[in-house]
Amino acid sequence: MTAMNTKPHYRTVWISDVHLGTRGCQAELLVDFLNEVTADTYYLVGDIIDGWRLKKSWYWPESHHAVITNIMEKAKNGTKVIFVPGNHDEFAREFVDMTFGHVDVRMNDIHTTADGKRLLVIHGDEFDGVVKYARWLAYLGDTAYNLAIMLNRYFNAARRKLGYGYWSLSAYLKNRVKNAVQFICNFETAVAHAAAKRKVDGVVCGHIHHAEKRMIGKVLYCNDGDWVESCTALVEHKNGELELLHWADMRNMAMSYIGASDTNASTPQALGLGRLMSLFRSASTQTTSANSAQKQASTPSAHSTPLGKTA
């Protein structure tokens, strides 16, 4: 096996907001991700199962069952799996500090990275004023959100027929609504402030379906995103470095990079995440180099400036 096809191994993987039991859940992509990634520890940071939706109507296809089976098999084989329930799977909060099927259930946790950073791991719904103080408004918002996800599903079905990859319409709209953007900012600030009071170096949460990694004051704020809209995970490398993996974006770019002539690349399973990540980063490097060369050609006297940003 070549290095390009080697499955990546991480010290820690965080995923949240999968919402199994809803039609908007991107379970197939998550199963592929879980099949291609190995780790010492997996954190399930809440809303893995959408109990709110399942109470209204039962929806549990094979792909959703496959997610649970995959995670339980990892735990059975010795991988550490920690489940921090969220508001949509709050039924599991009755079992905090217990272990089921080799999975530890905790209300929150403190994770220490390889380089010594202490990270508070929480779902984050306690910082959402709507959920905390007006539960009926939360359910109303959940209904509207599920409508947006339904539109997103039909939108992407049309894109697939036209030969395009996955793209989240609901996330695009959310990031352009002023009130939603302000809520995200307020949420991030509140979570970081609470982490600072706990005297930790950073925090990992979910809940708002908005992947992010940045410094807020002296606190490293990380949100691992979701598997409904963005299909993202937070990972810790063996040296303690944290990285957000945007799986849907990686898949789309890699498929485009390979080209239609590669018949083995018709499905994400045929690619393998190791190869996928190599192709993604190779394509990103080539794009950055091309943009840099174009900029230097247009302004030959200008100093080269690194593209992108780090948190």
CATH number of the domain residue 67 falls in? 3.60.21.10
pLDDT per residue as tens digits for the range 13-49: 999 999 999 998 999 999 989 998 999 999 999 999 9
Q: What are phi and psi of 20, to 5 degrees?
A: -60, 140
Does residue 226 come out as left (phi exceeding 0), alpha (psi in the -120 to 50 range) or beta? Answer: beta
Residue 284 and residue 46 in contact, taking contact as beta carbons nearer than 8 Å = no
Task: Determine the 3-state secondary structure of 214 from DSSP.
Answer: strand
What is the pLDDT, as a whole number, of residue 285?
52
Both 211 and 265 in one domain: the answer is no
Determine the structural domain holding residue 290 and report its residue range. Answer: 253-298
What is the pLDDT, as a whole number, of residue 131?
38
The CA-based diameter of the chain, rounded to the nearest angstrom, is 65
Tell me how far CA of residue 143 lies from CA of 35, 52, 234, in angstroms.
32, 10, 28
Model confidence at 225: pLDDT above 60: yes
Q: Is residue 309 part of a domain?
A: no
Residue 141 burial (CB < 10 Å; 0-12/13-18/19+)? middle
Q: Which residue matches tokens 């084989």?
A: 77
Both 172 and 191 in one domain: the answer is yes
Q: Is residue 284 part of a domain?
A: yes
> Strands 9-15 and 38-44, how do they pair?
parallel
Residue 272 and residue 7 in contact, taking contact as beta carbons nearer than 8 Å = yes
**Smallest Cα–Cα separation from 227: which of 29, 61, 94?**
29
* Helices 247-258 and 273-298, packing angle to 10 deg: 80
Both 35 and 123 in one domain: the answer is yes
Burial of 87-126, coded b for 16+ CB within 10 Å and e otherwise, reads: bbbbebbeeeeeeeeebbbbeebebebeeeeebbbbbbbb
Both 101 and 225 in one domain: the answer is yes
Both 261 and 171 in one domain: the answer is no
Model confidence at 83: pLDDT above 50: yes
Report the DSSP beta bridge partners of residue 38: 9
pLDDT per residue as tens digits for the range 117-152: 999 999 999 987 643 444 444 454 555 556 666 666
Contacts of 34 (CB under 8 A, 6+ apart): 67, 70, 71, 74
Model confidence at 75: pLDDT above 70: yes
Tokens of 18: 């999968």
Mean pLDDT calculated for residue range 178-191: 74
Both 148 and 288 in one domain: the answer is no
Both 188 and 214 in one domain: the answer is yes
- Integer Cα distance of 272 and 258 in angstroms: 13
Is pLDDT larger for residue 160 or for residue 133? 160
Residue 237 neighbours by CB distance under 10 Å: 16
Tell me how far CA of residue 247 lies from CA of 44, 89, 204, 307, in angstroms.
17, 24, 18, 21
Q: Which residue matches tokens 């599991």?
A: 92
Q: Is residue 239 part of a domain?
A: yes
Residue 206 and residue 216 in contact, taking contact as beta carbons nearer than 8 Å = no
Helices assigned H by DSSP within 175-260:
178-197, 247-258
Mean pLDDT (the chain) is: 78
Total domain count, the chain = 2
Both 62 and 187 in one domain: the answer is yes
Both 195 and 228 in one domain: the answer is yes
What is the pLDDT, as a whole number, of residue 299?
41
Q: How many H-runs (helices) and E-runs (strands) does the chain carry?
A: 10, 12
DSSP for residue 107: S
